[in-house]
Structure 1
Amino acid sequence: MKRPFRFAAVIREADTAKSWADKARRLEDSGFDVLLVPDHLTGPRFAPVAAMTAAACATTRLRVGTLVFANDFRHPAVLAKETATVDVLSEGRVEVGLGTGWMAADYTAAGLPLDPPGVRVDRLAEGIAVLKGLWSDGPFGFEGEHYRITGLDQRPKPVQRPHPKLLLGGGGPRVLRLAAHEADVINLARLVRADGSGPDGADSGLDAFVKKIDIVRTAAGERYEAIELGTSVLQVGVRRSEAAWSAADSSGQDETPQVLLGSHDEIVEKLRRWRDEHDLSYYVLHNEPDLDAFTPIVEELAGR
């Protein structure tokens, strides 16, 4: 069965509370399903929990979430309580995106140790177990290498049961397999260098992207049909005439759905093809300046 398209946009900041609310309402009015906030300690970005709450208060339908909470920045017991509270205040409109944390600049500036990827993935797996346990009914206990919880019964519980949608994003095989077992939504991304300096240039192109889908499908088994599969749209370029068209550097991702270049109809057809042939139905606009170009695509495809 083909899933209907869902669309989200990453919004990082605004000059005022009114401007932030206006941005949220613009997404809602244009057919976007979710406003997502990143989680980095450096750079001009709002803190995610406060920004999600404000966006939810300014809207009635729009869901709010993160792309993604860095597991290393807050204890999962704290995150469980914060997200459950926002879920109550938003009347069940929270989607929790979670990742290991990766950007070296964040860790360096804050004096935090950047552990090897394997350690961070181990900690993420435990963090997911703690989140789901604390979102569930009754006291919860957990004994792991990184986290220990003793009979903790947090309230409020999330409105959404058994818990808010959990999105995991990543590009490495181990994270993709973890996502296949635990996530409701998976955002397929490029692999990040172990030193946290940015995307791995070797992990690009059509074959590498399709391989990620194969990893998820194999690891998920019977669970695959329950997973919403998606990716971030890194570049949008709508051609209105041949004379006006010039393609920018897109880092070898032109053949993937992360880069959308062409006429309106060509982009719509590309997204339909990726949904119909590869099950990708959830698309996240990564760069706010592309919002004007991407909105007509959303208006045509959202919910269809």
Structure 2
Amino acid sequence: MRPFRFAAVIRMAGSAREWAERARRLEDSGFGALLVPDHLTGPRFAPVAAMTAAACATSRLKIGTLVLANDYRHPAVLAKEAATVDVLSDGRLEFGLGTGWMAADYDAAGLRLDPPGARIDRLAEAIEVIKSLWRGGPVTHAGEHYHLDGLEQLPLPVQRPGPPLMLGAGGARMLRLAAREADIVNLTMRVRADGSGPDTADGGPGAFRRKVGIVRDAAGDRFGSLELGTSILRLGPGGATAAWSAADPAAQADTPQVLTGGPGEIADRLRGWRDELGLSYYVLHHETDLEAFTPVVAALAGT
């Protein structure tokens, strides 16, 4: 059974000093990772610079993304940036990657939002390219979406064969891709094809359990090596609604994404989800919930 790990999404700060203080606060509170989102709109830092600054302010805290949008960068660029961050953080990068999905980002930047299937195909090929570059040596790749001709990149990541790959997944195709390729699977609701937000019809405990089943079946012998987790969208009846989502978290009532009760009740609930489904990695989506959630982290982290 995997020990519990906890992360928090931190989006922005008013200064370098404030950003560093937030990172150190997470580290001192027992959180294992600081994660940054990747969107072109809204009040959010750019992920690579933000991760690097957080790594420089801490010594143990992992830094990562939830998640980088593959459509915004060529995978050769992503591989180079990620390897550099891994070196500069002494091997503390968690590499979260996704297709890109938020229509508002695409529209505002003049980018084309392709159908989900095309974005998933592109992501799968990007993962192949990135992993090949991290292994080292010249890489030649002739795919449907990307072409490399003897590209060799340095530095290589400190973590071998590369930083742990986290994929967020809600739909069946993404869940199967995560089962095959990821080290960490962050279970979510399926995103609407038009990029307007998560599909609330995909919510609820039954759907959540089915997602774990899809991952288990697709992973086969790999399943035991996967770290399963999810994002906490709401903490308590009056908690904040996660900013990434256009959906009402009520659709995820009675799942690990909506946690109610005091710290002891929540800790018991998380132990139950780990016993039943193997979920051990929880990401808090709102800084406003940090104070209330820290006692849970203190009770469970590493156990």
The TM-score with structure 2 as length reference comes to: 0.96
Q: 1:247: how far off?
A: 8.2
Q: Which residue of 2 aligns with 1:48?
A: 47
Q: Which residue of 2 aligns with 1:241?
A: none
Kindly indicate whether the alpha-carbon contact (under 8 Å) linking 1:247 and 1:261 is maintained by their aligned counterparts in 2. Answer: no
Runs of 4+ in 1 over 6 A off after TM superposition: 245-249
Q: Which residue of 1 aligns with 2:75?
A: 76
Q: 1:250: how far off?
A: 3.6
Kindly indicate whether the alpha-carbon contact (under 8 Å) linking 1:6 and 1:303 is maintained by their aligned counterparts in 2. Answer: yes
Q: Which residue of 2 aligns with 1:64?
A: 63
Q: Which residue of 1 aligns with 2:230?
A: 231
3-state SS in 2 of match to 1:145: coil
Paired with 1:118 and 1:73, the residues of 2 have a C-alpha distance of 17
Q: 1:142: how far off?
A: 1.1
Mind listing any 5+ residue stretches in structure 2 that lack a counterpart? 241-247
Paired with 1:261 and 1:104, the residues of 2 have a C-alpha distance of 31
Kindly indicate whether the alpha-carbon contact (under 8 Å) linking 2:166 and 2:182 is maintained by their aligned counterparts in 1. Answer: yes
Q: Does 1:295 align with 2:294?
A: yes
Cα deviations across residues 9-50 of structure 1 (Å, max 9, x unaligned)? 000000000000000000000010110000000000000000
3-state SS in 1 of match to 2:282: strand
Paired with 1:179 and 1:93, the residues of 2 have a C-alpha distance of 21
Alignment of 1:138-153 (within 5 A): 138-153=137-152
Q: 1:86: how far off?
A: 0.6
Alignment of 1:1-304 (within 5 A): 2-237=1-236, 250-304=249-303
Task: Rate the CA distance shift 1:266–1:191 in 2: closer, same or farther, 3 A.
Answer: same
Q: Which residue of 1 aligns with 2:245?
A: none
Kindly indicate whether the alpha-carbon contact (under 8 Å) linking 1:68 and 1:169 is maintained by their aligned counterparts in 2. Answer: yes
Indicate the percent of aligned positions where both proteins have the same amino acid.
Answer: 69
3-state SS in 2 of match to 1:281: strand
3-state SS in 1 of match to 2:194: coil
When the two chains are superposed, the root-mean-square deviation of aligned CA atoms in Å is 1.2
Q: 1:246: how far off?
A: 6.5
> What letter corresponds to residue 69 of structure 2 in structure 1?
A
> What letter corresponds to residue 133 of structure 1 in structure 2?
S
Paired with 2:207 and 2:86, the residues of 1 have a C-alpha distance of 36
3-state SS in 1 of match to 2:6: strand
Kindly indicate whether the alpha-carbon contact (under 8 Å) linking 2:239 and 2:289 is maintained by their aligned counterparts in 1. Answer: no
Paired with 1:7 and 1:139, the residues of 2 have a C-alpha distance of 37
Q: 1:57: how far off?
A: 0.1
> What letter corresponds to residue 95 of structure 1 in structure 2?
E
Cα deviations across residues 121-169 of structure 1 (Å, max 9, x unaligned)? 0000000001100011211111110001111110000000010000000
Kindly indicate whether the alpha-carbon contact (under 8 Å) linking 1:96 and 1:164 is maintained by their aligned counterparts in 2. Answer: yes
Paired with 2:263 and 2:253, the residues of 1 have a C-alpha distance of 16
> What letter corresponds to residue 53 of structure 1 in structure 2?
T
The TM-score with structure 1 as length reference comes to: 0.96
Kindly indicate whether the alpha-carbon contact (under 8 Å) linking 2:263 and 2:293 is maintained by their aligned counterparts in 1. Answer: no
Paired with 2:300 and 2:256, the residues of 1 have a C-alpha distance of 15
> What letter corresponds to residue 83 of structure 1 in structure 2?
A
Cα deviations across residues 174-204 of structure 1 (Å, max 9, x unaligned)? 0000000000000000011000001111011
| Greater Cα offset, 251-260 or 6-15 | 251-260
Paired with 1:251 and 1:172, the residues of 2 have a C-alpha distance of 19
3-state SS in 2 of match to 1:150: strand
Task: Rate the CA distance shift 1:201–1:87 in 2: closer, same or farther, 3 A.
Answer: same
Kindly indicate whether the alpha-carbon contact (under 8 Å) linking 1:171 and 1:188 is maintained by their aligned counterparts in 2. Answer: yes
Paired with 1:230 and 1:35, the residues of 2 have a C-alpha distance of 15
Q: Which residue of 1 aligns with 2:244?
A: none
> What letter corresponds to residue 160 of structure 1 in structure 2?
Q
3-state SS in 2 of match to 1:251: helix
3-state SS in 1 of match to 2:281: strand
Q: Which residue of 1 aligns with 2:243?
A: none
Task: Rate the CA distance shift 1:96–1:294 in 2: closer, same or farther, 3 A.
Answer: same
